[in-house]
Each structure stands twice: as structure tokens, then as C-alpha cells.
């Protein structure tokens, strides 16, 4: 089994966007998910969801979380981790198109 640390970076998220999808034949542990509001004048409201494709369920990690101008939200990190199976996704929506998302994962193949 190979263990690989990876980052998935998505810029300018606004509408529902799959920011990370776990590859086939892989299990991933999400060790961090940060959403930065880079808009200079508007606060953002952010949803971060886990899409479990095998169970056909989508669940919120955070819903309508406020992110101030030039601020950030750590949706996953510290003591909280999320495990994804092949095909599962982290989906992010922001009310401003100037939100950047960085997701750090440990992929196990």
C-alpha cells in the first residue's frame, strides 16, 4: 500500500464545485480543508459537503458558514478528519466568486 500526501487547490469557487474527488482504488483521509475569501469587499457564506457516492448521500460539514472579507474558514482540520472512499467528493459552494479552496489529503492505494 502506498501512502501519498496531496493538495487539491481550486480557485474562484462560487457555485457548487467538486474540489476533490477520491480516485478509484484509493481511500483518502482529508486532513485539511480551508476556504479563503479573497473578495476585497464582500463577506462570503460557505457550504462544505461530503458526497458519499456509494451510499448516495450528501451531508454538510458546514452550512452557511460566514467567512469575512479577506478571512478564511477551516472546515476540516485539527482533530477532525474525514475519510473518503473511491469516488467520494468534497463539494464547496460560496456566495462570492472570490473564494479559494485548499484541500489536503492522504491517499492510500
For the chain, helix (H) and strand (E) counts, in that order, are 0, 9
Q: Residue 5: is its pLDDT beyond 90?
A: yes
**How crowded is residue 101: how many other Cβ atoms within 10 Å of its Cβ?**
24
Partner residues linked to 91 by β-bridges: 18, 49
Domain boundaries, the chain: 3-108
Q: Residue 98: is its pLDDT beyond 90?
A: no
Nine-digit cell string for 40: 476585497
Which of helix, strand or coil describes residue 80?
coil
Q: Residue 62: is its pLDDT beyond 90?
A: yes
Domain 3-108 has CATH 2.140.10.10: no
Model confidence, pTM: 0.93
Amino acid at each position: 500500500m502506498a501512502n501519498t500526501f496531496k493538495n487539491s487547490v481550486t480557485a474562484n469557487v462560487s457555485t457548487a464545485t467538486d474540489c476533490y474527488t477520491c480516485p478509484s482504488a484509493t481511500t483518502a483521509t482529508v486532513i485539511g480543508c480551508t476556504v479563503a475569501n479573497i473578495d476585497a469587499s464582500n463577506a462570503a457564506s460557505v457550504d462544505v459537503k461530503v458526497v458519499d457516492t456509494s451510499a448516495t448521500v450528501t451531508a454538510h460539514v458546514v452550512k452557511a458558514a460566514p467567512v469575512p472579507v479577506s478571512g478564511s474558514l477551516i472546515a476540516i482540520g485539527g482533530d477532525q478528519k474525514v475519510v473518503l472512499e473511491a469516488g467520494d467528493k468534497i463539494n464547496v459552494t460560496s456566495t462570492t466568486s472570490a473564494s479559494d479552496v485548499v484541500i489536503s489529503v492522504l491517499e492510500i492505494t
